[in-house]
Amino acid sequence: MLVLGIETSCDETAAAVVRDGRERLSDVVSSQVEIHREWGGVVPELASRSHMRRVLPVVDRALHEAGVELADIDLFAVTCGPGLVGALLVGVQAAKALAWAAGKPVVGVNHLEGHIWAIRLAERHPEPPFLGLVVSGGHTSLYAVEGEGDLRLLGQTLDDAAGEAFDKVAKLLGLPYPGGVVIDRLAAEGDAEAIHFPRGLGRKPTLDFSFSGLKTAVLYHVKKNGIPQGRELADLCASVQEAIADVLSEKAIRAAREHGLGRLVLAGGVAANSRLRALVKERGEAAGIEVFLPPKSLCTDNAAMIAAAGYLRHRRGLAPSGLAINADPAWRL
Ligand code: KG4
Ligand code: ZN
C-alpha cells in the first residue's frame, strides 16, 4: 500500500510517499525557517501563505522522487492538528482535493501520534507497549503506548515546551531562530557544569514538567552578567542543555519504570538533541530499559511520519477519515 503523507501544521511544508507504513520512498521537507527568522519565531499568517504556495509543488516532488504517479497512491494521510489553524487548513484541503481527484481514501492524523510512529520508519522499532516521550517546539508529553491506537497521557509540561525553552533561551542570547540546534552546536564546546540551572519539577514525584523557571533563570543571569561570548557562551549553552536533558531523561526513565514499560521511544524535534540522546541511552541502559532513537531526519517535522501514522489509523479503521475531515488546531490525543 502506497501512502502519500502531507504535513503543514507549523513552519515546514512536507510531503512523503511511504510503502506499507514502513519504507520511505520519498521524504520532502520545505522549511520556512528563512521567512520566520527575521521575526524571531513563526508568524502564523506568513506560514499559511507560504504553505499555499508550496504545498502542491512539494507533493509533486514527493511523487516524482518516489517514482510514482498520483494514480498509484492508495491512501492520503494529512495532519489535522494540533497546530496553527490556517497552516493546517492548507494541508487538509490539499489532501482532500487530491484524494477526491484520485478516488482514494483520506485519513486525518494527529501530529503527536505522527511523531511517535516516526520510529516505525527507522531500521529498528519496538511494538507496543512502550513509553513515548514527545519533545518538540509545542509539546513535551509522556505517553504510555499500549497499542497502535491506544495512547495514554502520563505527564506533560505545565508551561513551556522543551523546544520552546531552547528557542526562548536562544533568543535571550541573541542567537538565530530556531535556537535548539544552535544551542546544541555551541554546547559541544562548553562545560555543562559551569552554571547550575533549575530543574523545574525535576525531583518532584509528578510526571509533569515545567521549563518557565529555567528561562527566567537565564534571563536573570544575562541581566546580571551581560550576554556572554566565546567560551562563556558555550558554557551557558551546555548548562542550559544539561538542565533540559537531565529532567527529560530522568522523568522518561522513571515513567517507564513506574508503568512497567521496558522500552522507550524518543520523538519530536528536541529528540534530535545530542545530549538528550546520549543521556536517555545512558540512563536507559543503567535501568535495563531498551531505548529507541529515530534518526534525526525523523525527529523534526516531516510528512513520512504522518504517512506512517495514517497507515496504522487506516488499517484499524479509525476516524477521522473521508472528505468530512477538518483542521482541529487543539486536537488532544
Ligand atoms: O517537532 P518539531 O520539528 O516541530 C514541532 O512540532 O514543534 O520541533 C521543533 C523544535 C524547535 O523548538 C527546535 O528548536 C527543536 O525542536 N530542535 C532542537 C534540536 N533540533 C530541533 N532542540 C534541541 N537540540 C536540537 N538539536
Ligand atoms: Zn512536530
40-44 contacts at long range (C-beta below 8 A, 24 or more positions apart): 40/171, 40/177, 41/167, 41/171, 41/177, 42/10, 42/11, 42/84, 44/84, 44/86, 44/87
- Residue 318 has a pLDDT of 87
Domain count for the chain: 2
Q: What pLDDT, on a 0 to 100 scale, did the predictor assign at position 241?
A: 98
Q: What is the pLDDT of residue 17?
A: 99
Are both 281 and 140 inside the same structural domain? yes
Q: Give residue 94's pLDDT.
A: 98
CATH number at 252 reads 3.30.420.40
Cell for 14? 512536507
Indicate the length of the chain as a whole number.
Answer: 333
Q: Domain check: are 163 and 285 in the same one?
A: yes
What domain range includes position 256?
128-293
pLDDT, tens digit, 9 for 90 and up, residues 121-174: 999 999 999 999 999 999 999 999 999 989 999 999 999 999 999 999 999 999
pLDDT surpassing 90 at residue 18: yes
* Residue 84 sits in the same domain as residue 193: no
For residue 83, which atom of ligand 1 is closest to its CA?
6
Strands 106-110 vs 75-81: parallel, antiparallel or unpaired: parallel
Shared domain for 160 and 272, answered yes or no, is yes
Mean pLDDT rounded to a whole number for the chain: 97
Examine residue 322 and state whether it is found in any structural domain, yes or no. no
**pTM for this entry:** 0.96
pLDDT given for residue 238 in this prediction: 98
Residue 9's pLDDT band (cuts 50, 70, 90): very high
Domain shared by 196 and 286, yes or no: yes
Pocket, ligand 1, Cβ cutoff 6 A: 10, 136-138, 163, 166-167, 178-181, 184, 268-270, 272-273, 300-301
Residues 149, 191: one domain? yes
Using the predicted structure, report yes or no on whether residue 333 has a pLDDT greater than 90: no
Question: Do residues 34 and 155 both lie within one domain?
Answer: no
* One domain, residues 105 and 174: no
Q: Where are the beta strands (DSSP E) in 32-139?
A: 75-81, 106-110, 130-135
Task: Note whether residue 13 is domain-resident.
Answer: yes
Quote the pLDDT of residue 223. Answer: 96
Average pLDDT for residues 202-218, to the nearest whole number?
95
Give the list of residues 6+ apart from residue 36 with CB closer than 8 angstroms, or none: 11, 42, 43, 46, 47, 177
264 and 285 fall within a common domain: yes
- 180 CA from centroid of ligand 1 (Å): 6
Instruction: Specify the DSSP class assigned to residue 289.
Output: -
Beta bridge partners of 81: 110
Residues 134, 231, single domain; the answer is yes
Closest-CA residue, ligand 1 atom 21, reads 269
Q: Does one domain contain both 181 and 264?
A: yes
98 plus 140 within the same structural domain: no
